[in-house]
Structure 1
Amino acid sequence: MSTLEKDPPERVCGDEEHDRPELVPPREVPLGGPRAMRVRRTLPARGRSMVGAWCFVDHYGPDEVAETGGMVVPPHPHTALQTVSWLFQGEIEHRDSTGAHAMVVPGELNLMTAGHGVCHSEVSTPATEVLHGVQLWTALPAEHAEVDASFVHHVPEPVEVGDAVVSVFLGELGVTAAGVAGGEPAGAGDPAPVRSLGSPVTTYSPLLGAEIVLHPHASLVLHVDPAFEHGILLDRGELRAAEQDVPGAHLLHLPVGRDTVELAAGAEGARVVLLGGTPFGEEIVMWWNFVGRSHDEVVRAREQWQAELGHVADGRFGAVDHPGESLPAPALPQVRLRPRR
């Protein structure tokens, strides 16, 4: 997904340090013109630009496609990141310059690695009436920033754990039911065994990504890596997580050091997206659809995209089989983009 911002700000990422949970509120961003679909963006945000390697979180819908026109994102470039597409409702057609042509559908992961450079398009299909999901980016560590572009499709198995359903699409997660529907506590006796769930998809830094659906009044204990920081995004319903009430569409950031996190749903149940990873440990500059380590890297990527615009099959970004024009890059700001602490 492209940000589609006409004047995208410079983002200097990777320098936050917080020792307590914090709520990150969303901000609304339009994907295009006045009738365009709007998304709720929680990363990057002022004071919180990353959770592990996760550097971009857009949350959208339920969106009535007849009213907004749905998602129509022409070919656009990416560098040094991975895009993670995850839907709750609807269908999106994905095409990219690796030759991949795939449908994004609910409960199935589409993971595109940009590396040195890739371009792709995303268009909701004519049969889609409601569009609802998340679009996520992860930054690639410097040692992997120039890998070849690639595309992976994976269908994780939804697993019932007590009164919750968990789908782990990246990494590994341990889970234990902490209650039953109706709010009654679990029975006495030995602790419930930890169920370990995982995804075979390769990532370039330690990452966790999962969808968790809790039935009304259900509770779930997450057994997590204490070396990870985590983000819990509430899609719908009522949620209390790590002794914090989480408002709708907000992202709760949890710093490193926890080995368990309890989720508890209200009377309507809840659906959340859980993200995690080791603190990134590197500064990056994120501008428009590019991740770089310096102003000059971003300038070169922009110049190459403007010269190719998705029409040069053997160029840096390659070509996409897509009708219509590609997205031109916006003008750079009048100051140098620079990482800083």
Structure 2
Amino acid sequence: MSLEKPVIALTLGDPSGIGPELIARLLAEPELFTAVHTVLVGDRWVWQEGQRVADVCHELPEVSQFADARQHSGPVFMPVDSIAASASQYAVESAAGGASVLQVLTQCMDAAQAGDVDAICFAPLNKLAMKMGGLAHEDELHFFAEHLGVQGYFCEFNTLGHLWTSRISSHIPLKDAALYVTQERIIQASQLIHDSLKLAGFEQPRIAVAAFNPHGGEGGTCGREEIDVIQPAVVACQTAGYPVQGPFPADTLFLKARDGEFDAVVTMYHDQGQIAIKLMGFKQGVTVQGGLPIPITTPAHGTAFDIAGQGKADVGPTRNAFQIACRMGGNLRQQRINS
């Protein structure tokens, strides 16, 4: 059976940051777009400004709806009116910029729910601007989850090449992290990242679970979470057929993961994995929104206001995010066709 190309929605991100420039640079690599249909969504003036800053020029066919992307072999542009040029300024958070991002992402999610989009890759956004523009959630992941009607477990994945991480708690005070160390959350996080890795093309994902306490609790003398909670969760995953190992002391686990022993690490709180993976390669990282009905990816860095509009942005992480969206979107579409 021949594979049907997926449709990937691509957005420009916050107009005050480096997103439009990054997408202009990405579109200058035509080999990335041969296996997918791509629809770029954004305001005409934002797209023109991104090309100016990146010093490139693209002539993309314009479409009026997402479904039209399947009629074109190369990328297309779907213009929207979400923000006036006079309402945006480089390196300045604004309600207008945040509202623009929310409008475009909502249109992309609606298209995905209608079956016209198979994955979304968005350029960097600014959480403060989004909250100024009407975001009522703690972050974009919760915004996505509510809009898409997610009822089950979801979390961010941070990826660096072939290494992915998930976590059982995210943007909470560190003093509350122990409250989230439960068997249920560990099992859900482990199984979710396994299934997401499979969707991303990993044939046999190898997953490690980090300990919570220093030195893995030292046999219970430095905390009992490993004995009472984490180890039973690992056993439950193994019993269910998931290739999960651990718990491993976090201060040495990432050495093993870096050297290729594991494809993913399930961490117990935000900084436990974030510090490690960002030290290993902050400039190439990707964030995958895990647990949603469609793949959504973005470069792990932010809007980089310090270099916005200067033509200095590195397209590497955006390229990585787009490629993951393409793989996951393609596999998801094929699954739906075969089901």
Same fold (TM over 0.5): no
After TM superposition, the score normalised by the length of structure 1 is 0.27
Determine which structure has the larger helix proportion and give its number: 2
Determine which structure has the larger strand proportion and give its number: 1
After TM superposition, the score normalised by the length of structure 2 is 0.27
